[in-house]
Amino acid sequence: MTPSHYVQQQLDMLSAPLPVPVIESGIEEKIYTLLLSKKFRKYAVNPEYVEHIRSAIALNVSRGLPIKLTLVFGGYKLWRLPEAPEPDWAEVFSLIYYTNWLRPIAAIYKPGVIMDFYSDDVILEYMDNIPKSETEQYIAGFRNVLEFMKSYIPNNISFTLNRVGDQYRSYKDFIIELEQSIEDVKKTFGGLPTLTPEQAKLVELNVRVKPGQTDDPKWKEKVFLIHEGYARVSKRRPYYRCPDKIFVITRPLKDSIAVGTTKTSVVKFWIGVGVLKKQGDSFVPHVYSPKQLSEGNFSIENIHVDGLTGKNYTSMRVFS
């Protein structure tokens, strides 16, 4: 089997009919069970959020509306990767994985599911020095991938894209609120935050440092302060922390369902690369971090899937 055949096969399987089970304990309970299936969920969900999940399901079902999920994501491709600034196979593999997670729900609940990708790209130029031209290129590419997936996913599953920046009247209004939020957080910290080793590494990974920026011994703390200020702006968290929405993420975080990005990966699709690993005559999809890419041996193989365009969809890293 070639990479092209494998990916096409995985896409074609998304529209295969599923057996519809007999619903004995109520549709809400069945949706809850499928949503928290251990086949897809990577980590436990804290009890308090379990109650919210049940409540959100009941609210949407009572209104005859789709089950609403929100995954907050970076809205960029990590600048350290050759694939940047466009999406690559990581986005495709993740969407295939999420479709397989949600298909059983769509099969039993006619209103279906909406999975909304909520993009943080508005902060990147201010915090990580990533030009707006690059984030716009990523967003355009991500929209294309979502459009491509419509041909394969059930009609009552919708993948949507919304952006924090679009919730403001203007970028200027966003910056005014952001800078006030940063000052408020600074007062809470009593100055600059003290970073854990993991937080410092995340800053180093994501920031494309400007000339002279690292001359400041506190540059990482200042970047993290921006991050914390941004997390508290009024148009971000309240968008998805609401009664009818369920928060989805790739790695463990309080009050969320952590499902990873493929069956074998929890690396965020926007900071990783989609690769295939050989398994007998077939493959297993992964999303690899820059560190994982550097530690393995792979070949570059040509690939073609009709409808997928862009510089990152003509080849594939294949690991043995």
Domains of the chain and CATH, by start? 26-168+235-263 (3.40.50)
CA-based nearest residue to 285, from 76, 92, 143, 40: 92
pLDDT score of 24 = 66
Distance CA 221, CA 239 (A): 27
Cβ 7 vs Cβ 92: under 8 Å: yes
The model's pTM: 0.96
pLDDT score of 17 = 87
Q: Please state, in angstroms and as integers, the Cα–Cα distance from residue 282 to each residue in 128, 277, 320, following that order.
A: 39, 9, 11
pLDDT score of 67 = 98
For every one of its 320 residues, what pLDDT tens digit does the chain have, with 9 covering 90 and above?
A: 999 999 999 999 999 988 877 776 799 999 999 999 999 999 999 999 999 999 999 999 999 999 999 999 999 999 999 999 999 999 999 999 999 999 999 999 999 999 999 999 999 999 999 999 999 999 999 999 999 999 999 999 999 999 999 999 999 999 999 999 999 999 999 999 999 999 999 999 999 999 999 999 999 999 999 999 999 999 999 999 999 999 999 999 999 999 999 999 999 999 999 999 999 999 999 999 999 999 989 999 999 999 999 999 999 999 98
